[in-house]
Amino acid sequence: MVDKEKSKRRGRPRAFDRDKALRTAQALFHAHGYEGVGVAALAEAMGVNPPSLYAAFGSKAALYEEVLARYDCAAAPMRDLLAPGGDPAAALSAFLRETAAIYAADPQAPGCLVLEGARGVDPDASCRARAFLNDSCNRMRDFVAITHPDKAQVVSDYMAAIMSGMSADARAGKTPEQILAVADMAGLAIRAMLGGR
């Protein structure tokens, strides 16, 4: 005979809110890194039990990848600022300023979830984060290549290095003003490389 009370408690709750669960997981991954938060802590914060987390997302790594995709779409205004037809030096400088502000905005989640994830120890998780990082670098390179094909790769590499440094600085507790100053200095270098206003 099946215990109806036990079967009611099993599995995902009917009111499971996937977006809320992803927001919660994102906050934990951003604050503690992939390796710094376990399945039990994720499940508890998301209001589900571990089997329900696996049923909803497949694995911790798959949940992380979904969080990375959500972050990539919302965190930085790359798609808006790097629209075809814009002046690349001005657009990349504005992008760095926006990124600096985002990295330093929340002391509980400083830096970039993707960049910090790409530095992680877990090979599967860092590989997933690097895929998003590579996609962003390719978007920057392709944007610059429209007007400066000979400089597109070096500019993209430079942008990635500056953003990585700003993310690390934000995680190390540098002030928003310090990180913005780095973005502004890098913007000057990009203008020197590409010309522009």
> Which domains occur in the chain, in start order?
18-194 (1.10.357.10)
Q: Is a pLDDT exceeding 90 seen at residue 130?
A: yes
- The answer to whether 171 touches 112, Cβ cutoff 8 Å, is no
Count of all residues that appear for the chain in the document: 197
56-106 pLDDT, tens digit per residue, is: 999 999 999 999 999 988 755 677 778 778 889 999 999 999 999 999 998
- Percentage of the residues of the chain whose pLDDT score is greater than 90: 75
- Greater pLDDT, 86 or 34: 34
Global confidence as pTM: 0.84
Neighbours of 44 (CB within 10 A): 14
First to last CA, the chain: 76
- 121 is written with which tokens? 């120890």
Q: How far apart are CA 150 and CA 126, in angstroms?
A: 30
Token pair in block for residue 133: 């990082």
Closest CA to 159 of 186, 120, 139, 178: 186
Q: Nearest to residue 71, comparing CAs of 10, 11, 115?
A: 115
Task: Please state, in angstroms and as integers, the Cα–Cα distance from residue 167 to each residue in 39, 43, 156, 159, following that order.
Answer: 26, 27, 16, 12
34: confidence class by pLDDT, cuts 50, 70, 90: very high
Asked whether residue 13 carries a pLDDT value surpassing 50, the answer given is: no
The proportion of the chain whose per-residue pLDDT surpasses 70, expressed as a percent, equals 90
